[in-house]
Structure 1
Amino acid sequence: MSSSLQENVRNHRRRSGWSQEQLAEEAGLSVGVVRKIEQGGNAQVETIHMLARALGTTTSSLFATEAPEPIRANVGDGPKLSELRRALMPPVGLREVIVEADRAPALASIQRDIDDSHALYHADHYDSVAKKLPAILRDAEAAVTLTEGDDRQKAVVVRAGAFLLAGKYLTQVRRYDMAYHALSLGIRDARDADKTHIAATGVVGMAWLLLRQDRFDEAERLATVTAEEIEPRMSSATAGELALWGELLQRVASAAIRNNRPDVARDARRMTHTAASALGREHVDFRQHWTTFGPATAEAKAIEDLALIGDHRGVISRADEGPVGAKGLQKFGRPSANNWDRHRLDVARAHAKLGSHQDAMDELSTIKASSPEWLRHQSMARRVMTEILERRKRTLTQDMRDMATHLRVSG
């Protein structure tokens, strides 16, 4: 039976014996917000999470299951992604996918293009990745189709890497259906080639995609099962194996904390710190396991949990201490750019929530200086900027106006 958000919230509230005023007080929300939701209004996942925590249920249990509203307009992919869609989703007929090449491209050349594009992705050059991916996918498909014997399995492994790169990029730019298709194909290719750790790398990406779609139950289950299957022997594990296991555990914790399952999240974070301690320092490997994990990353994600439960003072108190402090970074190494930027975005949000608008702006400006395109794709950055615009009583500074323009926020 389908149900709406308003029905789910109302039913849980009534089972608790609370009025709307009581629920608002327990959740730390205004009565107007609760009333609006129960009258059929929309709400951000963050607000639903606060309601779930107050009601003692999971966030996903409050989500609507009714049919969606009709789509009013077809936005489409635009010129940047239409070519990528054609390469990723070619027409399927009675035979193999039709390839234009008459000779298999060199696998070493395709792998170099994948590695170069991965470097571009982490350097924040998303347009360049979008331009390179179609040719990579077509070449990888041609290599598999036109190769036989042992070389064909090698071509399948290379194609798996191409698909996983496409899935990672498409998740970042929020083309979720295309991302799911690419990640699924990559995981299946890796499984078929008996490359378990490449497949598990794809699962890390798939769990990230599910988190972005608010599919918390599925993300937690997928990451948990996969982490159990690849759990390394601590005495003999390689750095790559420990890092990949740690990344999967982080997905478990991230899904659980968002779904109001703090005990599960706490256990997963404890195991994450075990993996990080065994590593001893940050492990950044975009060639074999595509992993970025270590003590500083584990601490940054633990601080992210504080942000998600609304402990803004806790975020600020730990933001520059321990493994993520200056001495810690020197000792353990820096996380990947994306993980570090996400950590500082949590800090910016905490400052904004506490009314320290200039401190929030300083954090946003620092991120913008190093990762402008990444920042533009972050919905949290837009929410932080919107909050600054709405709550600041004094005249906006030029930096604030420039940031609002960069993030396409009006106010």
Structure 2
Amino acid sequence: MSEELARNVRRYRRARGYSQEELAHRSGLSVGPVRRIEQGQDGFRMETLHSIARALGVKTSDLMAPGPPEPVKLDDPNSQNLRELRIALTPAIGLAPAGSPVGDEPDLHRLRRMTHDNSVLYFGDTYTSIAAELPGLIKAANDAVTYYDSGEQRTEALVLRSQALNVVGRYLTQIRQFDLAHVAARSAIEDARGAGDDLVAASGVGGMCWLLIRTQRFDEAEDIAVTTMDVVEPKIMGATPDQYATWGGLAMEAAAAAMRNNRPEEAVALRRAAGTAARAVGKGHRNYLRHWSRFGPVTAAMKELEDHMIVGDARSVIRKSRDEEALQEKHWKRLGGPSTNDGHRYRLDLARALVRTGDPTAAMEELTHLDEAAPEWFCHQASAAITFEEIAKKRRTLTADMRRVGTRLGVFA
């Protein structure tokens, strides 16, 4: 993407009549990053690209175009670590007719429990355990769908497989196995649609949106989230917490995509919609199967803070973390606290804001806490590595704890 990005940035800059120095100033950057991007160098941060897009008045996606593929590392450990999951998710097929289902009738109650338990492991950031369990979960779900060819049990089996694949897709997205994650997310949506369950399908769309955001496909993420919101929009009277939570979760995904794509007005409107759904829920609502996680006032407030970090407004993050009721832990018993994952991500945003407002010590305390509380989740967070590097630049020497955290994040690898 480097050559195409360089060409696009240069073209838009010249069309605006900006010098590299003026573009850097309008972007809130030094001139160095602008020059390196236009020279086709790699290693820039997405937030740098967001800043340049805002200064040029274009969407971030307008600056990005596909380039030639990079060489694949021969020693990629995930090619073997995920072998069983890859086989379960993408089985080989040939021209021979599919065999008839064999064995005992599937236990759908057990399959539902397996899916729920894996969801709890995922949202609890227990990745080692879930990695070992997912191949068996996929096989059990496939067996159930194969066994039942019609009727209510067929519908239930499809819903259960959709929910299982949604968990699989989210896990793979978290560990950056994006192509495999897309297979799981797409299949999850198709199964739920086949079962005629729009709410479960919408939950799958939420997982797909997150995957698209993480792979910089912002236009598509916003589009499918908004169009799905239209399908599952709760009625004014009689809507269930599941309906509000699913609709509000989609609004948050759409807002995240819009803000990253330099569409702040759309993002604000979508955040407002998420806030409306959160107030309708009243207290944090949890349903790990039908809905993606927990949703409520606390979750909506935490996700909105991400928008401030995207535009580089670290001071607003600090101020809101201190002033907004929903972000005060003492109010969480009444409002319903966040999921473990959302709570950790909030503290990661707070760490980034702290180091950028001149408090690297407090920022390091947040990173150390996250490393101790959720090491399996923490090591996959690119923004944690960026924050650590910013902290390290402000220190002459690193403590043993800092070196341990840096090693966990791959900074010293």
For the aligned pair, the TM-score class normalised by the smaller chain equals over 0.9
* Structure 2 segments unaligned to the other structure (5+ residues): none
Residue 343 of structure 2 aligns to a residue in which SS? helix
Q: Does 1:374 align with 2:374?
A: no
Aligned-partner residue type, residue 386 of structure 1: E
Residues 227 and 315 of structure 1, relative CA distance in 2, 3 Å threshold? same
TM-score when normalising by structure 2: 0.94
**After superposition, where does 1:13-32 map in structure 2 within 5 Å?**
13-32=13-32
> Could you tell me how far apart the structure 2 residues matched to 1:190 and 1:37 are?
43
Residues 98 and 63 of structure 1, relative CA distance in 2, 3 Å threshold? farther
Residues 128 and 101 of structure 1, relative CA distance in 2, 3 Å threshold? farther
Question: Shift in Å at residue 340 of structure 1?
Answer: 1.2
- For the 8 Å contact 2:234–2:243, the answer to whether it is kept is yes
Question: Shift in Å at residue 325 of structure 1?
Answer: 0.9
The aligned residue for residue 193 of structure 1 is: 195
The aligned residue for residue 61 of structure 2 is: 60
The aligned residue for residue 167 of structure 2 is: 165
The aligned residue for residue 325 of structure 1 is: 328
The aligned residue for residue 254 of structure 2 is: 252
> Could you tell me how far apart the structure 2 residues matched to 1:241 and 1:88 are?
29
> Could you tell me how far apart the structure 1 residues matched to 2:339 and 2:273 are?
20
Which protein, 1 or 2, shows the higher relative CO under an 8 Å CA cutoff with sep ≥ 6? 2
Residue 294 of structure 2 aligns to a residue in which SS? strand
Q: What do residues 320-350 of structure 1 show as CA deviations (whole Å, max 9, x unaligned)?
A: 3321113432321111111111111001001
Residues 229 and 95 of structure 1, relative CA distance in 2, 3 Å threshold? farther
**After superposition, where does 1:173-252 map in structure 2 within 5 Å?**
173-252=175-254
Higher mean alpha-carbon deviation, 369-378 vs 309-318, is at 369-378
Residue 49 of structure 1 aligns to a residue in which SS? helix
Q: What do residues 89-122 of structure 1 show as CA deviations (whole Å, max 9, x unaligned)?
A: 1111235666895334211112111111111112
The aligned residue for residue 158 of structure 2 is: 156
Higher mean alpha-carbon deviation, 70-79 vs 20-29, is at 70-79
- For the 8 Å contact 1:219–1:251, the answer to whether it is kept is yes
Residue 268 of structure 2 aligns to a residue in which SS? helix
> Could you tell me how far apart the structure 1 residues matched to 2:238 and 2:260 are?
33
> Could you tell me how far apart the structure 2 residues matched to 1:90 and 1:141 are?
11
Q: What do residues 272-315 of structure 1 show as CA deviations (whole Å, max 9, x unaligned)?
A: 11111111111111133334111011111111111111001111
Q: What do residues 378-401 of structure 1 show as CA deviations (whole Å, max 9, x unaligned)?
A: 1001111111122323x2222212
> Could you tell me how far apart the structure 2 residues matched to 1:8 and 1:14 are?
10
Residues 146 and 52 of structure 1, relative CA distance in 2, 3 Å threshold? same
- For the 8 Å contact 2:162–2:189, the answer to whether it is kept is yes
Aligned-partner residue type, residue 256 of structure 1: A
Q: Does 1:84 align with 2:85?
A: yes
Q: What do residues 364-389 of structure 1 show as CA deviations (whole Å, max 9, x unaligned)?
A: 12222321211111100111111112
> Could you tell me how far apart the structure 2 residues matched to 1:97 and 1:116 are?
31
Q: Does 1:50 align with 2:51?
A: yes
Higher mean alpha-carbon deviation, 162-171 vs 11-20, is at 162-171
> Could you tell me how far apart the structure 2 residues matched to 1:143 and 1:330 are?
40
> Could you tell me how far apart the structure 2 residues matched to 1:122 and 1:262 are?
29
TM-score when normalising by structure 1: 0.95
> Could you tell me how far apart the structure 1 residues matched to 2:216 and 2:328 are?
31
Aligned-partner residue type, residue 24 of structure 2: A
Higher mean alpha-carbon deviation, 143-152 vs 276-285, is at 143-152
- Equivalenced residues, count: 409
Residue 319 of structure 1 aligns to a residue in which SS? helix
Aligned-partner residue type, residue 41 of structure 1: Q
